[in-house]
Amino acid sequence: MAKIRMGILGGGGGSLIGPVHRIASSMFDRFEIVGGVFNPNWKDNIRFAKKIGLNEDRIYKDLEELLSKERSLAEDKRIEVVSVLTPNFLHFPMVKRLLEEDFHVICEKPLTTSYAEALELKKLREDKQLIFAVTYTYSGYPMVRQMRSMIQDGIIGTIQKIDAQYYQGWINPVIHDPESRKKVWRLQPEKSGQSCCIGDVGTHAFQMLEYVTGQPIKSVLADLNYLYEDNVMDIDGTVLLRLDGNAKGVLRASQIATAEENNFTVAIYGTKGHLKWAQENPNYLYHGLEGSPLQVLKPGHEYNSDAATQSTKLPPGHPEGIFDAMGNIYHGVADAIANNPREGSYPYLIDGVRGMQFIECVIQSHKSGNQWTEIK
């Protein structure tokens, strides 16, 4: 079977997420990276392309040249899907042009810098009927998919409480120095968008809660922390959540949780029991049932669901990590492009759209004096 021809925008040089996407795309032998624009500086762009062994003929100076040159190629030669790994403010203009020119898209989150932009992309994608994934990476972990399957099967009963925490500490060393924080693009609204902490890690927690529960969050009440009056971007926040019925929850996100690394945890409590998962120890899913000993579920075993089994590459006892999670998302995208989609195998465009709505509702709630704000 021929591999899917992939292009990449961004992700070159010292990019954190670039290697994750490149390695993930290779895991199931479904994609071939054939070209792209890795850096706005031409010399750096070419140098990086040579480093990863690409043909210089398919390395372009900018997106418009890529679109023009690729569209001139025969259909069985041109790039089919493009991964967008650039800073947030470039997502919307790049993705819009890709959709207009009929390319499938894989885009980093947050999807755009505004909900209005996200809705525009939603309409365009629906008109074009193209495949569009937003890389909420953690939904690719096998035991996250196992959690989702168990909740769907009613094993913990009716949901009554949800809890997500995403704590990092990486901004703490720079936030206290006005000059240092000016150099961080995530603290610059013109590049990052309306939000730093909630937009970066809070949306991961929001998407995760909706993904595993299968229920939309209906309204939020938020209290954000900017720490300094001259810092216009949130770096910490607590958000109360309401679902359908009487179910409620809390989402806590921070990038000034001193000395924390990537502490992302999710807990779902039902009428019969609970499920807990932690990103820093992702091969363990904790299942508590009323009146029974705590159980620990792990990948690679026959007791897991089909969704978890399809996302597991190694025998039991072999840890799978962030590269594997992203690889599972790419695998889901490949199946969709091949007209064999698997439900829940990758985060859809609508997940990115709801993420943008969540960001704006959280900001609105905070600015209105911590009022409940509906996510419609």
Question: How many other C-beta atoms lie within 10 A of the C-beta of residue 295?
Answer: 13
What is the per-residue burial (b if ≥16 Cβ within 10 Å, else e) of 63-83?
Answer: beebbeebeeeeeeebbbbbb
Query: Which residue's entry shows tokens 């006892």?
Result: 317
Query: Which residue's entry shows tokens 């953690």?
Result: 138
Please give the DSSP secondary-structure letter assigned to residue 113: S
- Answer whether residue 375 is part of any domain: no
Write down the pLDDT at residue 368: 98
- Answer whether residue 355 is part of any domain: yes
Do 225 and 96 share a structural domain? no
The pairing of strands 263-270 and 159-167 is antiparallel
Predicted confidence (pLDDT) per residue in 337-346, tens digit: 999 999 999 9
Question: How many other C-beta atoms lie within 10 A of the C-beta of residue 292?
Answer: 10
Domain boundaries, position 20: 4-137
Radius of gyration of the chain (CA): 21
Kindly tell me if the per-residue pLDDT of 251 is higher than 90. Answer: yes
Do 156 and 79 share a structural domain? no
Determine what percent of the chain falls in helix, strand and coil, rounding each to the nearest 5.
40, 20, 40
pLDDT band at 306 (very low <50, low <70, confident <90, very high): very high
pLDDT band at 283 (very low <50, low <70, confident <90, very high): very high
CATH classification at residue 215:
3.30.360.10
Predicted confidence (pLDDT) per residue in 137-181, tens digit: 999 999 999 999 999 999 999 999 999 999 999 999 999 999 999
Distance between terminal CA atoms of the chain?
43
Contact of 87 with 188, CB cutoff 8 Å: no
144 CB burial (10 A radius; 0-12, 13-18, 19+) = buried
CA distance 296 to 298: 7
Task: Retrieve residue 262's tokens.
Answer: 């990537």
The pairing of strands 373-374 and 219-225 is antiparallel
Boundary (domain end) residue, out of 119, 137, 155: 137
Do 246 and 154 share a structural domain? yes
- Answer whether residue 331 is part of any domain: no
Amino acid at 23: I
Write down the pLDDT at residue 376: 87
pLDDT, the chain, mean = 96
What does the pLDDT average to over 72-97?
96
Task: Retrieve residue 132's tokens.
Answer: 């569009």
Cα–Cα–Cα angle for 27, 31, 35, rounded to 5 degrees: 125
Do 177 and 255 share a structural domain? yes
Amino acid at 168: Q
- Answer whether residue 320 is part of any domain: no
Higher pLDDT, 368 or 191: 368
Do 186 and 123 share a structural domain? no
Cα–Cα–Cα angle for 95, 7, 327, rounded to 5 degrees: 95
Kindly give, in sequence order, each residue whose CB lies less than 8 Å from that of residue 215, ignoring residues fewer than 6 positions away. Answer: 159, 243, 244, 247
- Answer whether residue 327 is part of any domain: no
Boundary (domain end) residue, out of 104, 137, 170: 137
What is the per-residue burial (b if ≥16 Cβ within 10 Å, else e) of 204-239?
Answer: bbbbbbbbbbeeebebbbbebebeeeebebbbbbbb
Do 268 and 202 share a structural domain? yes
pLDDT band at 79 (very low <50, low <70, confident <90, very high): very high
What does the pLDDT average to over 207-216?
98
CATH classification at residue 111:
3.40.50.720
Residue spans of alpha helices (H) in the chain:
17-26, 42-51, 63-71, 91-100, 115-128, 142-152, 172-175, 178-181, 189-192, 197, 203-213, 306-310, 322-337, 349-367
The pairing of strands 104-107 and 31-37 is unpaired
CA distance 372 to 172: 29
Do 354 and 229 share a structural domain? yes
